[in-house]
Amino acid sequence: MEKRLRLAPSPTGLLHIGTARTALFNWLYAKNTNGKFLIRIEDTDIVRSKSEFTTNILDGLNWLGLNWDEEPIKQSQRISIHKEYIKKLLEIGAAYRCFTSEDEIHELREKQKANGLPPRHDNRHRNLTSKEIKEFISQGRSSVIRFKIDEEAEIKWEDQIRGEIKWQGKDLGGDLVLSRRTLGDEIGDPLYNLAVVVDDNFMNITHVVRGEDHISNTAKQILIYRALNFKLPIFSHTPLILNSEGKKLSKRDSVTSIDEFKEMGYLPEALANYMAFLGWSIKNPENEILSLSEISKIFNLSDVNKAGAKFNWDKLNWINSQYIKKMELKELNQFIKKYWNDMGWKSPSKEWDLKLTNLIQDSMILLRDAIDQSKPFFCLSQMQKEGTDFLENKKEAKESLQYIVDYLKEENISKVTSNKAREIISKISINHSIKKGILMKSLRVAFFGCLSGPDLIQSWELFSEKKSDIYLIKRCLT
C-alpha cells in the first residue's frame, strides 16, 4: 500500500527549524518508500493564524527542496466536516455536552493543586439527563463537547522511533474537550485532537511523524480513532532539537526561523543536509555531505534517535562551507552579485566577477562572507596597525613598493596578469636582492592594509583590472 505522510503546521509563526526538520523526516521517509508527502495547514485558530505565515511556511519548505505531492489542505475549510464527526460521537454516546464554567474549572484546578494532584477534569457532566441539559441551556450556560476517556483503557502503539509506548486512560487528564465553548445547543469550533484525527483519516495518512511533544496527544487521538472506527496510522515521534545547554531550542536561541538561516547565508542544500543529521545518523558515516535524494535512499525512521538532538553550529557551518566549495563559479557568483548590488559595488567585467568569486570561494563559510571578503576589491582598506608597523619597521618594505612602481612605469605595464605579477616579483627580487616574501608582504599591506588576505598574485590581477593597484601602492609611499 502506498505510504502517505504529512506535515500539519499551524500558521501561527514563521517556519521554524523544528517544523522544517519534522517536514524533512516525513519527506525523506515518503521518498524512501515511494510514497507521498502532503501538507495540511492547521489554520483553525483564527486569532493566531495568518496567511503570511502560511506563505512563509510553504516558501521555506520549497526553498529547502521539500516539495509536496498534492495541493495543500486547509483545515479551516473542513470545520463543518469536523462538526459532523463531533455530532456522530455525541450520537454514539462517546461524547457529551459539558457545562462546567471557566470559574468552576479554575476552582477544581486550585483544589487539585492544593492536594498536590495533577490537573484533570472530574467528568462531572458525563451523565446529565436531557432534562438537565435543557435546564443548563435555558440558564444561558455555555458548554463544550467532551470526549469520554475510559479511565481503564490501555493505549499501546508501536512507535517507529521509540518502540512500544503505553499510556493509561487515567493519565490523560479526564474527558477531552473536542470543541470550543458555545451557547445553546450549537457545536463550537472543533479543537486540534478531533480535527487532526478526522483529517488524517480523510487524507488516508498511513504514517504520522511528528515531534515528541505530541506523544500524549497521540494517546488521546488513538481513543478517538477507536471510537470512530478509523484505521490507525503508524506513529513516530521525533526527538526535540536542543540548544547548546541541552534545553529545547526556542526563539530565544537567536536563530530559529528558516528565513534567518537564509538571511545569514546558508545554502538550502547544506541546511537540509545538516538537518537530516539532527536526530538521524548513518551507521558508518564515510561522507556526511549528501544530497536529499541520496539521503532519501538510505533514510529509515527506525534509525532516528530517541534522545534530543543538539544543534551544532560548527557542523552546520562546516557543511555549508563544503557546499560553497563544490558550487559552480557562475552559480556562486549569482549569489555574491546580489550582495555586491546591495552594497552598490560595481565590477569592471563578468570575467572579473568570476575571478574574484574563485579567489574567495574556498574561504567562505556563509554566502554572506562574500561581503567582507570582497570588500577590499571595491573599497579602500583602512591601514591597520600591523600594516603600518610593517611598512615603517621593515627596512626594505617601502623600497620594494617603490621598485614596483618604477618597474611598472619603465616597462610600461598597465595590466598585471597573474603571470606578469609573478614575473615582476621575481625580477625585482633578483635585481635588487630583496626577498620575495618581503615584496609580497609589502604589496599585501598596500592592497589590504594588513598582513593577511587571499592569494596575493590573483588579487593583484584583480586590482590591476580595476586600475587601483598603482594607487594602492603609492598611498604607502607618501
Q: Which residues bind ligand GLU (CB under 6 A)?
A: 8-10, 42, 196, 210, 214
Report, in Å, the least distance between residue 209 CB and ligand GLU.
8
To the nearest whole angstrom, how small is the minimum distance from the Cβ of residue 217 to ligand GLU?
A: 7
Element (H, E) at 209: strand 207-211
Q: How far apart are CA 205 and CA 199, in angstroms?
A: 9
Closest to ligand GLU by CB, 85 or 447: 85
Q: How far apart are CA 464 and CA 458, in angstroms?
A: 10
The grid coordinates of residue 96 equal 457529551
CB of 224 to ligand GLU, least distance (A): 13
Closest separation between CB of residue 305 and ligand GLU, Å?
A: 19
Q: How far is the CB of 75 from ligand GLU (least distance, A)?
A: 8
Phi, psi values for residue 248, rounded to 5°: -55, 130
Q: Show Cβ contacts of residue 181 under 8 Å, excluding neighbours closer than 6 positions.
A: 142, 143, 144, 188
Task: Provide, rounded to whole angstroms, the least separation between the CB of residue 170 and ligand GLU.
Answer: 24
Nearer to ligand GLU, 45 or 259 (CB): 45
At 280 the three-state DSSP class reads strand
The beta strand positions in 9-151, using DSSP E, are: 36-41, 73-74, 95-98, 144-147
Closer to ligand GLU at the Cβ: 9 or 190?
A: 9
DSSP state, residue 254: S
* Rounded CA separation 20/317 (Å): 18
Closer to ligand GLU by Cβ: residue 97 or 214: 214
CB of 52 to ligand GLU, least distance (A): 17
* Pairwise CA distance, residues 425 & 431, whole Å: 10
| Nearer of residues 75 and 429 to ligand GLU, judged by Cβ | 75
Dist CA 238 CA 10 (whole Å): 18
How many Cβ atoms are within 10 Å of 156's Cβ, its own excluded?
Answer: 11
Q: Looking at beta carbons only, is 60 or 387 nearer to ligand GLU?
A: 60
**Between residues 125 and 214, which has the closer beta carbon with respect to ligand GLU?**
214
